[in-house]
Amino acid sequence: MRWLLVGLIVVCNGIGDLLNKTGMKRHGEVHELRPRAIPRLLKSLSRNLYVVGGIAALAVSFFALLSLLSIAPLSFAIPATASSYVAETILAKYVLGEQVTWQRWLGATVVACGVVLLAF
Amino acid sequence: MTPHSKELRRKTRLLSIVVIVSNVLGNFALSMGMKEVGATVSFAVLPYLRALLDPWVIAGVCLLALWLLSNLSLLSWADLSYALPVTSIAYVIAAILGRVFMGDEISWLRWTGIVLIVIGATIVGLTTPPRTTPEHEQDFVSGDER
């Protein structure tokens, strides 16, 4: 059950981040960061199907995490999701076409190793 | 460095902090709440709705909503392969908060993990620009509104 939830979390996180990034790329750069700009941003995001789908995927991942945290300690939950860092960097390069420099590969790998060690 | 790329870095740094802090506090509140609520693994909706009545869970959900919105804004200009490692600093802060407020033990292996995350996030944050994809280049024209 634990590992099923971990798989669900990693897959849904990847899909969610990918859809959100695609949706926000189409939306264009957010310039206004003040609180009063939030309603307009929400309105525009609610009509962005990529973002709506991305949030739905993240919601599934969120409820899976909620369930995982209620049956497993944080020290199991955190490292199990570490593979997301490398998997999503691969997706960023091949699906989103980002220029993943060696510094980014190194950074993502070092972070993933660090997250695994947090369990001990 | 052009004025715009400087502005972009400043904005990226500011929003990264909001993303990290809201994530840490949101997860912290949620974990406190779920401890109160008890084990919840179910395909039914009701147990989750009951969990959503807990004040800690409410606070956690609100903070994670802020996290979602700030993360989406960050992704509107920053690459996913940039934002992901940089915002992983949240793990480090969560571990340190756990030690300070909940008396969690941090073993030397865990400290090593913390140091590795800081190194990884720093490598990405300091040596690569927030965005590399060319589609955004037209934004440079209208970029400096303030």
Q: Report residue B43: phi and psi, to 5°.
A: -95, 0
What pTM was computed for the model? 0.83
- List the single residue in B with minimal CA-CA distance to A82: B88
Distance from CA of A96 to the nearest CA of B (A): 9
Model ipTM value: 0.87
How many interchain CB pairs under 8 A, A with B?
Answer: 169
- Contacting B residues, span 43-72, partner chain A, CB-CB under 8 Å: 48, 51, 64, 68-69, 71-72
Element (H, E) at A22: helix A2-27
Give the dihedral of Cα atoms B129, A80, A58, A49; nearest 10 deg: 60
Q: What is the pLDDT of residues A78-116, one digit of tens each?
A: 777 788 898 899 999 999 999 999 999 999 999 999 998
What whole-number distance in Å separates Cα of residue B54 and Cα of residue B145? 42
Q: Count helices and strands (H / E) in chain B.
A: 7, 0
- Look at A118 and B113 and tell me if their CB atoms are within 8 Å: yes
Reading chain B (146 residues) residue by residue, the pLDDT tens digits are 566 778 888 889 999 999 999 999 998 888 788 777 776 566 677 777 777 788 999 999 899 889 999 999 999 999 999 999 999 999 899 888 888 887 778 899 999 999 999 999 999 998 888 887 665 444 444 444 33
Whether the per-residue pLDDT at A24 is higher than 50: the answer is yes
Are the beta carbons of B63 and B29 closer than 8 angstroms? yes
What whole-number distance in Å separates Cα of residue B5 and Cα of residue B129? 9
Q: Does B22 touch chain A (CB under 8 A)?
A: no
Is the alpha carbon torsion for B9, B130, B132, A99 positive or negative?
positive
3-class SS at A96? Answer: coil
Mean pLDDT of A9-22: 94
Mean pLDDT of A38-52: 93
pLDDT at B42: 63
- If you write DSSP's letter for every residue of A55-71 in order, what string do you get? HHHHHHHHHHHHHHHHH
Distance from CA of A7 to the nearest CA of B (A): 15
Q: What percent of chain A has pLDDT over 90?
A: 57
Distance from CA of A88 to the nearest CA of B (A): 7
Interface test with chain A among B16, B52, B84, B89, by most A beta carbons within 10 Å = B84
Of B79, B91, B121, the CB nearest to A78: B91
Mean pLDDT of A4-33: 91
pLDDT at B138: 43
